Structure 1
Amino acid sequence: MEIENIKNNYYIVKLNQKHELNNFSCGLNDMDDFLKNDALSQQEEKLNVTYLAMYDKEIIGFFSLLSDIIKLKDIEQDYDLPYSTCPAIKIGRFAVNEKYNSSGLGTVLLDNVCYQIKKISEIHGVRFITVDAYCNVRGFYYRNKFNHFKIHNENKLMRAATRNPNLTIPLYKDLKRI
């Protein structure tokens, strides 16, 4: 099956000005617009770094990484750490080509991103991975072992998400539990 071949043979490259981005669509205008219009300039400004997941010459997905910090008082679990904050790497953007939706490719790519961040944590102090997930895809992150920050009123959050599809919810994953 083609998708299994893609899952086993894709590769990751750093975005540069030579990449042809016009044929990529994840189905979310905001994400597509970021990749095509903002990613490279933000990368040049050292705000984040965007990587393309490629198979052959096709962009099958992309993600952006940037530094972050997590306030321990804002997460559900208790940590016996003598700090109020811990370093994190944020997955600023993460998308899969819409033609591969529901194929399992997103989970494969996310696992790879988390594995790469875990490798970074071995040479640079990082304890958590964070992501601001669109409310309508938070289930994907929950299935991939991300936890939500403290939610004081979940019903209010869900009503707001219904009114605004671009509303995001902050999630995290502890690298020591991977």
Structure 2
Amino acid sequence: MVQTRVDREHLSFIRLKPSYSVENFSCGDDDLDDFILHRASTFQKHLLSVSYAYVDGDSGKVLAYCSLANDKVAITDFKDKAEFNRFRKKRGFPNEKRLKSYPAVKLCRLGVDESVKGQQIGTIIIDYIKWMYMNNNRAGCRFLTVDAYLDAVPFYEKNGFRFMNAEDNDPHTRLMYYDLMDIVA
């Protein structure tokens, strides 16, 4: 695939409407491609997730996309209650707010078209999501979570995500989180 140099002056990040149709997108992962090409609008119509696209304003081409849904960070995400309590203490939760779970948004999918890989577009999208939940948040949201494909773990670590549970042994993904309070601190 031929790489295209992105002129960021003409790019915009848009919320996709259920009627929006993506005609051509390939990030090299069949599942991620299939989602944006065929299933994102159905998920949105049924209020299961919301998809956003990073679009070239001149051509209308979707260069990258992400899909978000509500989530939580809960006791069950950790090996045991003691590990969850250490997590709460380390993250600075006040004792009077000892909840069994905390509000989060899940980054369900993130794909960057092969034609623009290596141009930091994935990081731009992660930064935009952080900004959205720190500046336009309409409900409490403390964490971003992601079930990161194993080969994407270094990308998420580079963008400030941490492992939720050191003993997560899923053969395909690792549960990771980003604490939005890291932006404030």
Mark the CA change 1:79 to 1:113 in structure 2 (over 3 Å): closer, same or farther.
closer
Residue 93 of structure 1: aligned partner: 109
> How many angstroms does 1:115 deviate by?
1.0
Work out the percentage of aligned pairs sharing the same amino acid.
27
State the partner residue of 1:141. 156
Per-residue deviation, 1:4: 5.6
Are residue 40 (structure 1) and residue 41 (structure 2) matched? yes
Letter matched to residue 61 of structure 1: A
Question: For the residues of structure 1 that align with 2:175 and 2:53, how far apart are their CA atoms?
Answer: 23
Equivalent positions of 1:52-63 (< 5 A) are 52-56=53-57, 57-63=60-66
Aligned length: 165
Corresponding position of 1:83: 99
Q: Which amino acid aligns with 2:154?
A: G
AA of the residue aligned to 2:91: Y
State the 1:120 CA deviation: 3.5
Letter in 2 for 1:37: H
**Is the aligned partner of 1:113 residue 2:129?**
yes
Q: For 1:143 and 1:79, how far apart are their aligned partners in 2? A: 19
CA contact (8 A) 2:6 2:116 kept: no
Correspondence for 2:81: none
Task: For 2:139, give the aligned amino acid.
Answer: H
Please say which of residues 142-151 and 95-104 is displaced more in the overlay.
Answer: 95-104
What TM-score do the two structures reach when normalised by structure 1?
0.83
- The CA distance in 2 between the partners of 1:3 and 1:148, in whole Å, is 33
- Tell me the distance in 1 between the aligned counterparts of 2:136 and 2:146: 17
Q: Give 5+ residue unaligned stretches, structure 1.
A: 162-166
How far off is 1:13 after superposition? 1.9
Paired with 2:10 and 2:160, the residues of 1 have a C-alpha distance of 25
In 2: Cα distance, 1:80 partner to 1:104 partner = 31
Q: 1:34 to 1:150 in 2, by over 3 A?
A: same
For structure 2, the residue ranges without an aligned partner over 5 or more in a row are 79-83
Q: Deviation at 1:102? A: 1.5
Equivalent position amino acid for 1:5 in 2:
D
After TM superposition, give the deviation of residue 130 of structure 1 in Å.
0.7
